[in-house]
A and B are shown apart, each in its own frame.
Chain A
Amino acid sequence: SQELEQSPQSLIVQEGKNLTINCTSSKTLYGLYWYKQKYGEGLIFLMMLQKGGEEKSHEKITAKLDEKKQQSSLHITASQPSHAGIYLCGADGGGSEKLVFGKGTKLTVNP
């Protein structure tokens, strides 16, 4: 079965710093989703990537899917306290109805 490994598990950065979160799949990704969760709240959809080499940006957050479609990275530029939360990647393995999620990366941004 497909597994998603996220790294790092947690990250503490100073406000203004850049950071990257990685999501690696054991199988080819047909659809890769990035979500953010604030404590006690539901998931917030950030971006979806489907094509190898695809890159999408939303405000200061950029997500990329590698050419082989097995790894995605989420990059935050000039982080702010509002970026703090848990970032999750989720995947559609293609042909499988089961969604798979990484274990999440807890991001803390210190002012």
Chain B
Amino acid sequence: GAVVSQHPSRVICKSGTSVKIECRSLDFQATTMFWYRQFPKQSLMLMATSNEGSKATYEQGVEKDKFLINHASLTLSTLTVTSAHPEDSSFYICSASDGSLHGELFFGEGSRLTVL
């Protein structure tokens, strides 16, 4: 079945630095990828929708300059948390969709970001 790989699975960084998280579709072309954030014991919160070759669409309340999303190819989308602060510490997860799979979503395993 379709596989989505997310990297890194865990990252610890210092406050003020930037961190990049990658989301790759390994065996299908993902025209659309979604980025979510999850706080402890809470549901996933959709941050943005990323379409290959175009600018990401951000959900209300998500700072686009803070969370930079790039979908440069049909198999790769990246989320960069810029000038990270401790409140950015969270679990980030991506999902990918291919229209030929009838809209089915495939999820990465998530990335745990800890900002010190």
Which A residues have a C-beta under 8 Å from some C-beta of B?
31, 33, 35, 37-43, 45, 48, 50, 86, 88, 90, 92, 97-99, 101, 103-104, 106
Contacts and interface: CB of A to CB of B under 8 A. Distances in A.
Given A33-B44, A92-B41, A99-B107, 18 more contacts: A35-B43, A35-B44, A37-B105, A39-B102, A39-B103, A40-B32, A40-B99, A41-B49, A43-B44, A43-B105, A45-B45, A48-B42, A86-B103, A97-B110, A99-B38, A99-B93, A99-B110, A104-B105
A37 B32 CA distance: 13
Interface of B: 32, 34, 36, 38, 41-46, 49, 91, 93, 95, 97, 99, 102-105, 107, 109-110, 112
Contacts, number: 54
A101 to B, nearest CB: 6
A11 to B, nearest CB: 14
23 contacts: A31-B41, A33-B43, A33-B44, A35-B43, A37-B105, A38-B103, A39-B102, A41-B49, A42-B34, A42-B46, A42-B49, A42-B95, A43-B34, A43-B46, A43-B95, A45-B45, A48-B43, A86-B103, A86-B105, A90-B44, A97-B112, A98-B110, A99-B44
